[in-house]
């Protein structure tokens, strides 16, 4: 498995090797050794999530309070999606920047989203499935969102040739600037210190 460091500190793309044959295909989308080599620490898995989305559905931008935050290792076992990682850590040199990686059931690439970064994706095909390994369980009091259509973020939803579909919660989430004003965003230095405790 290959690992590629993304622009936002702590985020990685993982590219596994697939083994197709006359029966179908075998692939290992998550390999702890590769993740530890890239991150310097293992991923504690407290919960797994699975979502299924129609083409044009946008989920996110979601994030959690740090500490403890919630790291995610995500991949697409069916269909195709564009996965987006947004740096929302106040004080970060890449604050407001994003990385985008296509995840699909052809290559089974995965993305690691560390605590403190925002996460979103858009389904590019109907019946697209997303699988998540999460470092902490769902904690509704610590979960937040930013409007994925915030023009200041300019996220790459132009890959769509249809009207985006959002939940009411995501549609009415604050902009990045509003979330900052409300004190919802993680602090960069706090996040870096938290990452060090995981090593």
Q: Identify the three-state secondary structure at position 181.
A: helix
Give the separation between CA 41 and CA 28, rounded to whole angstroms. Answer: 19
Q: Identify the three-state secondary structure at position 27.
A: strand
Give the separation between CA 199 and CA 182, rounded to whole angstroms. Answer: 31
Catalytic positions: 62, 132
Q: Identify the three-state secondary structure at position 79.
A: coil
Which residues fall within 8 angstroms of residue 93, CB to CB, at 6 or more apart? none
């Amino acid at each position: 498995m290959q690992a590629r460091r993304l622009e936002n500190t702590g985020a990685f793309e993982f590219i596994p090797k697939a083994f197709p044959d006359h029966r179908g295909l075998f692939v290992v989308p998550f390999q702890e050794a590769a993740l530890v080599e890239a991150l310097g620490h293992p991923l504690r898995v407290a919960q797994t999530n699975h979502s299924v989305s129609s083409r044009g559905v946008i989920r996110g931008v979601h994030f959690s309070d740090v500490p403890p935050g919630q790291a995610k290792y995500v991949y697409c076992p069916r269909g195709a999606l564009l996965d987006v990682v947004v740096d929302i850590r106040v004080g970060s040199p890449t604050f407001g920047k994003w990385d985008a990686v296509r995840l699909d059931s052809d290559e089974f690439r995965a993305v690691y989203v560390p605590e403190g970064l925002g996460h979103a994706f858009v389904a590019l095909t109907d019946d697209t499935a997303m699988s998540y390994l999460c470092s902490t369980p769902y904690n509704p009091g610590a979960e937040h969102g930013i409007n994925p259509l915030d023009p200041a973020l300019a996220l790459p939803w132009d890959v769509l040739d249809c009207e985006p579909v959002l939940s009411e919660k995501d549609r009415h989430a604050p902009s990045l600037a509003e979330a900052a004003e409300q004190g919802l965003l993680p602090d960069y230095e706090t996040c870096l210190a938290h990452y060090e405790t995981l090593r």
